[in-house]
């Protein structure tokens, strides 16, 4: 399924970012500096504002990714699909503090040759959408609650599953469903569409 995912990646208008996060997916949070990269899984996230689009993500002090975000002031929230549930769990279970080769070992890969994508943006293969945030520094929240706030500065989605500001799970293979973590290796995939008139 993920062969050639690159050709389906399209930019998302920032005022539609909240709709990506609204359904409450588990996300992969990543941070990078000139010489380093790390990614972790986070069920604890929410949209925070429509326009300019903002979001909240909770990042424990022990996480290696957090240090990179504090250094670079940017973080990416990527929305993993069912196709990479094992890799997502690995990213949430293993720390780069203990395992410097975490990213290689996780099995995640990055999309190549995405048309129009800036050179410094890396998109994790097998995600449904990717949102780049600039951190809004809030020292009290970060220290007291591990709560980070960001404003979206770029967003992309796989147009097979998110297009024109709408999720379209009912039209795609199960592999493209978002995943919602509970505990103990158990996720739930997103399910049926329900339209209330």
Which residues are near a second copy by CB under 8 A?
18-19, 22-26, 43-49, 54, 56, 58, 82, 85-86, 89, 140-141, 145, 147, 149, 165-167, 169, 174, 177, 179-183, 185-197
Between CA 49 and CA 81 the distance in angstroms is 24
In DSSP terms, 150 is beta-bridged to: 55, 135
Provide, rounded to whole angstroms, the least separation between the CB of residue 80 and a second copy: 11
* Closer to a second copy by Cβ: residue 95 or 165: 165
* Closer to a second copy by Cβ: residue 33 or 135: 135
Provide, rounded to whole angstroms, the least separation between the CB of residue 70 and a second copy: 19
* Closer to a second copy by Cβ: residue 108 or 117: 108
Provide, rounded to whole angstroms, the least separation between the CB of residue 27 and a second copy: 10
Q: How many CA within 13 A on the CB side of residue 103? A: 14
* Closer to a second copy by Cβ: residue 98 or 192: 192
Between CA 158 and CA 169 the distance in angstroms is 12
Question: Which DSSP state fits 180?
Answer: E
* Closer to a second copy by Cβ: residue 60 or 99: 60
Question: 12, exposed or middle or buried, with CB in 10 Å at 0-12, 13-18, 19+?
Answer: buried
Provide, rounded to whole angstroms, the least separation between the CB of residue 148 and a second copy: 12
Q: How many CA within 13 A on the CB side of residue 66? A: 17
Residue with tokens 């739930």: 188
Sort strands 45-50 and 53-58 into parallel, antiparallel or unpaired.
antiparallel
């Amino acid at each position: 399924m993920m062969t050639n995912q690159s050709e389906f990646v399209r930019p998302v208008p920032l005022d539609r970012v909240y709709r990506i996060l609204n359904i409450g997916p588990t996300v992969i949070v990543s941070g990078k500096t000139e010489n380093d990269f790390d990614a972790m899984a986070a069920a604890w996230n929410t949209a925070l504002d429509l326009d300019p689009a903002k979001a909240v993500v909770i990042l424990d002090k022990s996480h290696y990714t957090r240090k990179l975000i504090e250094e670079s002031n940017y973080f990416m929230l990527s929305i993993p699909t069912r196709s990479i549930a094992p890799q997502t769990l690995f990213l949430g279970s293993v720390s780069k503090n203990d395992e410097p080769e975490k990213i290689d070992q996780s099995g995640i890969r990055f999309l190549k040759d995405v048309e129009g994508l800036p050179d410094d943006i890396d998109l994790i293969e097998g995600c449904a959408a990717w949102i780049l945030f600039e951190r809004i520094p809030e020292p009290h929240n970060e220290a007291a609650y591990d709560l980070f706030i960001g404003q979206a500065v770029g967003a992309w989605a796989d147009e097979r599953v998110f297009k024109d500001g709408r999720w379209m799970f009912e039209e795609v293979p199960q592999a493209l469903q978002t995943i919602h973590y509970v505990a103990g290796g158990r996720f739930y995939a997103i399910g049926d569409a329900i339209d209330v008139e």
